[in-house]
Structure 1
Amino acid sequence: MNLVGRRDAIHLPYNRPIMSENPSPIESEFATAEEAEAYDRWFRAKVQMSLDDQRPTASHEEVMAVLQKLIETKRDTNACPSKLPCRVPC
């Protein structure tokens, strides 16, 4: 069976279908209209707070460089003192 291009045929574990790109207006991931409206208000408020934030921004490259340094520091700190591959922490 060819599933290419058939988004409706792809399922996640427990038979939960992947959300389609254009969900039907009848379908909703919320139990009630009130829940959907509350989520929409919350989401819009979070977006507006982000847009209004005056703190300086950082580029993706800057953030990734800082995180890579952090990973390397943690890796060095937690390195096995025997320098041999082992499965049990020293």
Structure 2
Amino acid sequence: MVVIRLSRGGSKARPFFNIVVADKRTRRDGRFIERLGFYNPIARGGEESIRIAQDRLTHWRSVGAQASPTVERLIKQAAAAKPAAPAAA
């Protein structure tokens, strides 16, 4: 099965996570199929804390990839933080 999950990076006490598509059988920080974005839990000030390529996320979900519970929460958080695009008049 293909899953969308977090892969940890960064240094000790400064976590940084990549949101990746990977085979469920591979280890957490091992081989992955595609990187969809990132999550920086300790972003400060003007730093971007989360970015997800929505088009690729939609593609992988359409072919059966399942997101981990944490990634599901981050997807909802990113959607809420992103302001709606203004309608063309």
Using the size of structure 1 for normalisation, the TM-score is 0.22
Using CA pairs under 8 Å that are at least 6 residues apart, name the structure with larger relative contact order, 1 or 2.
2
The alignment's TM-score, normalised by the length of structure 2, stands at 0.22
Looking at secondary structure, tell me which structure has more strand per residue. 2
The structure whose Rg is larger is: 1
Hey, which of these two has a bigger chunk of helix by percent? Answer: 1
